[in-house]
A and B are shown apart, each in its own frame.
Chain A
């Protein structure tokens, strides 16, 4: 069966510090991978998605970046965090095609920038 891991579960970082969140998927090959951010009490905002190694599409311009160094590894980074980067970050993967395509979410990382 497929499993998705995210770490760390929670993170408190000062403004201006770097960030690296990691997501790995097990039990599947060549998944589509996604990074979302969810602000408190708000819906999910798509940040990045990747259809393959080294292929990253950005949905929202910001000070974050993403990389996919391996097929089942997706990393979200920042060189200098802003207060507005605080939120709940979710990694997801999708499988299937056409009408059966669906997403599965990781447990999330709660980031607080102070």
Chain B
């Protein structure tokens, strides 16, 4: 069964700290994996996309990694800011359909 699981479900960190969000998937075949940031009440916005041959992709303070062998991805946020408070969604595409994780809700506190 094609599934995308994210952990933790929620996370609270202090401003300036780093954090890592996890995404494990069983989707097959694999086309690409994308991380989205969704602010409360807004549509998701793309952060990174990785294809099978890529194992790391950065976008400013966001760095995503992909291990296609173990079917795991992570999103690392460096030097967190209050504006990083949002839900982060992992999405895997299998050439036919998009599979969504339920997201990690990140709360950055001052």
Contacts and interface: CB of A to CB of B under 8 A. Distances in A.
Interface size class of A (residues with CB under 8 A): 20 to 34
Main secondary structure of the interface of B (DSSP, over half): strand
Interface string B19-41: 00000000000011010100001
A105 B41 contact: no
A101 B100 contact: no
Interface residues of B, number: 24
Nearest to B103: A43
B100 A43 contact: yes
A105 B38 CA distance: 10
Interface string B43-81: 111100101100000000000000000000000000000
Contacts, number: 51
A108 B41 contact: yes
Contacts of B7: none
Interface of B: 31-32, 34, 36, 41-46, 49, 51-52, 89, 91, 93, 95, 97-98, 100-103, 105
